Structure formats: C-alpha cells, structure tokens
Structure 1
Amino acid sequence: MGDTYHLNKRIEEISLNGWPALQSVLYDGWLLRVSEGYTKRSNSINPIYGHSMPLDDKIAYCERFYRKKGMDSVFKITPFSHPENLDGRLEELGYRKAEHVLVQTLELDSLPSPVHAEAEFSDQAGDIWLRQLAELKGLSATQLETKRKLFFGQPLNQCFASLKVDGKPVAFGNIVLEDGWAGLSDIMTDPHYRGRGYGLSLTLHLLNWAKQSGASKAYLLVVDDNSAALSLYSKLGFQTVYEYWYRVKSVASQ
C-alpha cells in the first residue's frame, strides 16, 4: 500500500475525531459509535482496523449491540474497511446501500480573502448559533440537544463562525483542528440569502482562521448529490481524494 493510501487513512481517522460520538466501543478493530441516533456518521460501525474474529460472528455482535439500543445497524464502508469482502457480505445479508459521500481536501497555501468581512468567531457553539443550526437543518429539540453535547464534548480546538449582513447573521459554520488539518462541517446559509456568495465568504473566513491557527490543509465530507455544496467547494479548489458509503439494516428486519 502506497503513501496515498496511508495519508487517506489518516484523514479518515482525523475526520472521525472531527465529528465525534457521544460513546464508542472498540471491538476487534471495529469502532462502534453511538450518539442517540443523530446522523449515521456518529451512529455507525467503522471497520478501519484489522481483525481476527470470524466475520459473520462480528457482524452478528454489532447487530445485537445496536438492536439493544433500538437502532439500525449501520456500517461505514471506506477504502480502508477490513476485511476487503465486508461490503459484499453485508449486501448478501440484506444490507442496503445508502448515502454516497465524497471526502475532499484542499491545501491552504493560497487562500483569497472573503468578500464579505463582517464575521464573528467563537470557540463555543452559542445559543444563537445553535438555534440557527436547528432552524436551517430542521432539527428537533432532542436532536439539537444531542448536537450541543457533541460540540461541547469535542476535545479538539474548534471555531464557530457567523457571517453578518447589516447586523443579521446569514451564514454559519464550524471548523475543527487536528495535526495540521482543518475539518469543515455544518456550513449553512439562510435560505433568504442564498446565491449571493455568503456561504463562500463564511467558508473562507473559517479556512483563513484555521490557517492562522496553524493548519496547512483542510478536509470536508459531502454527499455526492448535494450540488450546491459541491459547487461552493469546487470554487475553493477542493478535490475528492476518496469516497465512502453506508450499509444499513433496519432494526425491524434483524
């Protein structure tokens, strides 16, 4: 395996840290994450390390683990999944494929300045920022509380930004730092202000903050059918380095 494989696997580890879980269990090289059902990313099995136990026994263990919590069994399938035949075996066992995701990266050596300069930064997700997140993402009160706990439990250095127009917050985002990498997430623009470059400016504010804080590279995860986000990130020069998807079996079918 070459340098690119190992670099991308490191990005995978960093992205797991950048989007944490409330609880996790390491089971024979597989990382089982649980976060009250909020997002597949924080409630899935991540088989990124080698294993020694029989494959079907491990899958059955994971199904029991999540079934006891009343949750679907969700496997995250990456180029680093062990064993290599895992995706095919899950398909044979009735797992459906879901959410094709692109992992993209960008060097931060030549970032332009944001066009819209009125931005606020904080190392914590404040109440206003969180309320806007809930409104724009359509989160329930329970989901918002889970998101709050995920943010406040994050041990890594992070930044929450808001872009203002005439004093009104119109775009929001989060970035987290680890080992020279900056991970973008939750980039959002008020629907009434979309198409005016505010999301682009907000993202540039976050990336410039990360660069000033010591990061030299950025990464993000984006679903492959999110054309608006893909267009924004393409303008900045982000490029796909690998892809992943999920395999899901509902708790009712187990």
Structure 2
Amino acid sequence: MSLQIEELALNAWPSLQTIVHHGWLLRFAEGYTKRSNSIQSIYSNGNSNIEQQIDYCEKIYESAGLTTIFKMTPFGPESMDQRLEQRGYTIAEPSSVKILDDISSIREPQMKGILIEEKWSETWLEALSTMNQLSQKKQEITRILLRNSRLKQGFFTLMNDSGPVACGFAVMEQGYVGLYDIVTDKAYRNMGYGEQLLLHILKWAREAGAEKSYLLVVQSNASANRLYDKLNYRHLYTYWYRCKP
C-alpha cells in the first residue's frame, strides 16, 4: 500500500519535467516546492553505483541552477540516507504520509459557503496565493502544473461573509482522494474552518466514488496533525528531504 500511495502522490503533484535514471526519478519545476524539484529512488536498484548516481544528479541539478534535493522514502536504497549525510546533506521537512481507510461514514459539513470547481480558476488561485503568500512566479508554475494534470481534480474555496477563509484541492485516482495545499487564512485559524473544508472535500470525493483518502503533512505542523488525527487519518510512513548545502 505504501508504494501505491507514493505513486499516487507523484501523479497528483507533477513536475514540469522528469528524468528517469536507473530507477531514480529526477523532477524539475523551476525550484517551486521540494516535491517537484527533488530526486527519489522509487524503484531501487540496490546499493550498487549509488555514489556515481548521486554525482550524476548533482551535475544535472547544478546545470539547472537548482539545489540538489533528495526525497528520502522507505523505497530507496538502505544506505542512501547515510551516504548523503556523509556528503554534508542536511535534513529538511520530516513529514508523514497519512491515510483514512474509509470515507463512507465521514460526517456532513455544517458550513455551507463552499465553492467547488472541477478545474482550477483564477479565483481559486488568487485565494491560495493570498493565504500561502505565493509570488507571481510560483503562481505561474502552479498554473502550469495543475493545467497539465489528466486526473480528476476538485478545487475548493470555503467562504464566510467576509470572503475566502480556507482553500485546497483534491486529486482522485484508483479509489483514493489525495488532499493538497490545505490552508486557512491566518485571520481565521483555530475557528473550525479547516475542518469544515476537509469535510466538504471528503463529501465531494465520496460522492464521486472515492473510498479512501491520503495526505502528506509536515510533522512539525502540530495544528494540522491534530486536525487530521481528529478525522481518523493514521500514519502510514515517514519521508524527509536531504538538501545539498
């Protein structure tokens, strides 16, 4: 199951270009998000030739003007993390992949001010950009990444009388719905808006045929983890990034 979720996550949040090199995926998106600008060994070829492959990756990312970043998952060579540490790579953003095994009994949302769009819109992107403080460049990359997806997507904006208060998007594949870019406006945090947004997303996904859900969350984000635990998401596996200094 863990490898399946990793594949779903790769599909849901794409890159602008991917190079496959001996079972390693090298992803590029002009530096926006570590997820789309990192290397991971999803189909490991063991511990042979690792040093040569790391050298290859470093040269490719240096030529692209990007920091070399490796995403460390349970699916890569066992010695990979230690080798990168010996090269001076630092750990960044230890994160949890969590799943909800059954969304059929998820309770109904109480707040009704939800806008659901099957395709991304400038209105949705504006709300996301404001809440996440995205630069113009990051907004343009987001447009391209989301426009190129061939999977079923849903874009959600929760509103009160003052306007958008929370937003996010979801991607469906193989009976799962993945939750991405879940954010609440700073002025409205700890008021229940994030939970209501998630309930709307899960309701939409259930009605569209999804049975389970997954998400990725940074372990240090205590409030987000409390919310996901409240909705009965459970930890599946851990990943982190190793960044070249």
Q: Structure 2 length normalisation: TM-score?
A: 0.96
CA distance in 2, matches of 1:21, 1:240: 26
CA distance in 2, matches of 1:203, 1:178: 18
Partner of 2:62: 67
Partner of 2:86: 92
8 Å Cα contact 2:117-2:156 kept in structure 1: yes
Q: RMSD between aligned alpha carbons?
A: 1.2
Partner of 1:188: 183
1:47 aligns with 2:41: yes
SS in 2 for 1:117: coil
How many angstroms does 1:209 deviate by?
Answer: 0.6
Aligned residues: 243
How many angstroms does 1:59 deviate by?
Answer: 0.4
SS in 2 for 1:169: strand
**Counterpart code for 2:68:** S
Partner of 1:4: none
Partner of 1:168: 163
1:27 aligns with 2:21: yes
Q: Which of 216, 237, 245 is the equivalent residue of 1:242? A: 237
Q: Which of 136, 148, 151 is the equivalent residue of 1:153? A: 148
**Counterpart code for 1:239:** R
How many angstroms does 1:167 deviate by?
Answer: 6.6
Partner of 1:17: 11
**Counterpart code for 2:35:** R
CA distance in 1, matches of 2:173, 2:162: 32
**Counterpart code for 1:34:** F
**Counterpart code for 1:134:** S
Partner of 2:198: 203
1:142 aligns with 2:137: yes
8 Å Cα contact 2:17-2:29 kept in structure 1: yes
Question: Relative to structure 2, which stretch is displaced further, 62-71 or 130-139?
Answer: 130-139
Question: Relative to structure 2, which stretch is displaced further, 127-136 or 212-221?
Answer: 127-136
Q: Which of 167, 172, 193 is the equivalent residue of 1:177? A: 172
Q: Which of 212, 215, 218 is the equivalent residue of 1:217? A: 212
CA distance in 2, matches of 1:19, 1:213: 20
Partner of 2:121: 126
SS in 2 for 1:214: coil
Partner of 1:58: 53
**Counterpart code for 2:126:** R
CA distance in 2, matches of 1:15, 1:60: 26
8 Å Cα contact 2:15-2:37 kept in structure 1: yes
Q: Structure 1 length normalisation: TM-score?
A: 0.93
CA distance in 1, matches of 2:148, 2:32: 15
Report sequence identity in percent. Answer: 44
**Counterpart code for 1:125:** W
Partner of 2:96: 102
CA distance in 2, matches of 1:57, 1:192: 49
**Counterpart code for 2:234:** Q
8 Å Cα contact 2:70-2:242 kept in structure 1: yes
1:232 aligns with 2:201: no
For structure 1, which runs of at least 5 residues remain unmatched after alignment? 1-6
Partner of 1:3: none
